[in-house]
Each structure stands twice: as structure tokens, then as C-alpha cells.
Amino acid sequence: MTPFLNELSAKQPPYYSKNNYMTNLVDTPKNQHEAVLWHLNEYNTITSWEAIKEYGATRLSAIIYNLRDNGYIITTNMKTTKNRFGRNVNYSEYKWEHII
């Protein structure tokens, strides 16, 4: 486990704020894990496409797995949409459940 992942825990979030949310995240995330946490805090959900476009994170499911392993409660919502060829495609939307 990397040193950064040791910092991520539900018992002691690294950037705790007065609102019990991680709203005091760094302005410039140091890595993709921090970027995904920041995004979840700001926008509530994230998809693989958003992670690729915004942060270059091509393995969002691995990042979510690591965050869950460190105590964050992140739920998966399966969505269906049509692609440019008119076929149904499935994708995951991840949501961080803030516990107060």
C-alpha cells in the first residue's frame, strides 16, 4: 500500500472541514486518488469518462476500489444510454456517501 493510501481513512480524513465533508482538499491534487476525491466532493458523482477527460485516470474502478478499501463509502449506480451507433451501452456512476 502506498503512503498516500495510508492517509486516506474514514476515521481520520486528511482534509477535514467544519462541515464534516472534505471541502478543504488541496487546490491542485497531487495524484489521481486526490483528484477523484475532490471531484466526488465537488460534484457528488463521477463516471469513467469524466475521470479520463478531467484527470487522465483510465482505471477509475481501481481508484474506487482503493478508496473503498480505505474506508470511504462509495456506491455504484449502473446506467444505460445509447452510443453514437444507437446501441444500448452500460456504464457505472460512482457516488460518495457522506456520513455525518
pLDDT at position 26 is: 52
Average pLDDT over residues 26-51: 89
Average pLDDT over residues 60-84: 95
> Of how many residues is the chain composed?
100
Strand partners, 76: 94
pLDDT at position 68 is: 93
In this structure, CATH architecture of domain 19-96: Orthogonal Bundle (1.10)
Confidence of residue 30 (pLDDT cuts 50, 70, 90): confident
- HEC string of 35-62 equals HHHHHHHHHCEEEHHHHHHHHCCCCHHH
Domain ranges of the chain: 19-96
